Amino acid sequence: MHKERPILFSAPMVRALLNGSKTQTRRIVKIKGLDFVGCGQVNNDPCCWGFEDGNTGMHWALASGPGVDQVFRGPYGKPGDHLWVRETWAYCAHAMAAKREEDGPFVYAADGIPINRLCERWRPSIHMFRWASRITLEVTAVRVERLQDISEADALAEGLTEDKEDNFFYSLEGRYREVTARWVYERLWESINGPNSWAANPWVWVVEFKKLTP
């Protein structure tokens, strides 16, 4: 029997989920509240790797270093489990006629600015209830790897698109460089996680999934 867990996505990533271009997500491996950003700070590489228990199908990671020697279960489940998406949302004006809150309807920031919202502000994704979620994902694979190990195909699976019209940019070093999906993902990662977060090359959970039909 599958388990369900919530997962947060930004508005651009929600749109990529809806159009079917996003089938992977990467999340930093954390142990006891510690971000494993640059495992070399804890111990010489490699200090973290993933494996699967063939008997249970559960996915795990192992970390080792000064004060850290722990096997722990992945927070995103195993193949067959479900992830319900939390996104920025609000009640629609028509919700005033609903008998129960969970009867909705709802509006979502990822769809653009709606008209006649019931509340005066958007509700943060972290405060979304299960019954307000419109997207459910089924986990198809889970693994642990270093962030910079992402391939071009995997970067595209993160919901990015290739720029067919202008596929080069002029670098500060005075050279032209090809714009790849992997390069775009690097910029996206740093916009979310801060400067130098890509260079830190953290260990990440790689979760692959498919969107279920509502």
Q: What is the pTM of this model?
A: 0.78
Is the confidence at residue 72, as pLDDT, over 70? no
In angstroms, the Cα distances linking 163 to 48, 127, 154, 166, 191 are 35, 35, 16, 6, 19
Rounded average pLDDT over 161-172: 49
Rounded average pLDDT over 131-159: 91
Residue 95 is classified by DSSP as: G
Residue showing tokens 């996003």: 22
Query: Which residues, listed in sequence order, are joined to residue 6 by a DSSP beta bridge?
Result: 84
Whole-number pLDDT of residue 25: 97
Domain ranges of the chain: 4-87+133-150+203-211
pLDDT confidence bin for 81, thresholds 50/70/90: very high
Is the confidence at residue 9, as pLDDT, over 80? yes
Best CA proximity match to 84, nearest among 28, 4, 191, 167: 4
Is the confidence at residue 166, as pLDDT, over 70? no
Q: How far apart are CA 114 and CA 131, in angstroms?
A: 20
pLDDT confidence bin for 103, thresholds 50/70/90: confident
Whole-number pLDDT of residue 45: 43
CA torsion angle 143 149 154 158 (round to 10): 80
In contact, 152 and 181? CB cutoff 8 Å: yes
Give tens-digit pLDDT for 187-208.
889 999 999 999 999 888 899 9
Q: Which two tokens stand for residue 12?
A: 């651009």
Rounded average pLDDT over 142-157: 90
Whole-number pLDDT of residue 115: 63
CB neighbours of 193 closer than 8 A, spacing ≥ 6? 28
pLDDT confidence bin for 124, thresholds 50/70/90: very high
In angstroms, the Cα distances linking 125 to 11, 111, 159, 164 are 10, 14, 19, 33
Residue showing tokens 């019954």: 131
Best CA proximity match to 179, nearest among 198, 201, 155: 155
Q: How far is CA 157 from the centre of its chain?
A: 11
Cα angle, residue 161 at apex, residues 198 and 109 outer, rounded to 5°: 85
Average pLDDT, the chain: 77
Q: How far apart are CA 89 and CA 170, in angstroms?
A: 39
Give tens-digit pLDDT for 167-192.
444 444 555 556 788 888 998 899 99
Whole-number pLDDT of residue 189: 94
High-pLDDT (> 70) share of the chain, %:
66
In contact, 65 and 39? CB cutoff 8 Å: yes
Give tens-digit pLDDT for 14-50.
999 999 999 999 998 776 544 444 443 433 344 455 5
Rounded average pLDDT over 54-68: 51
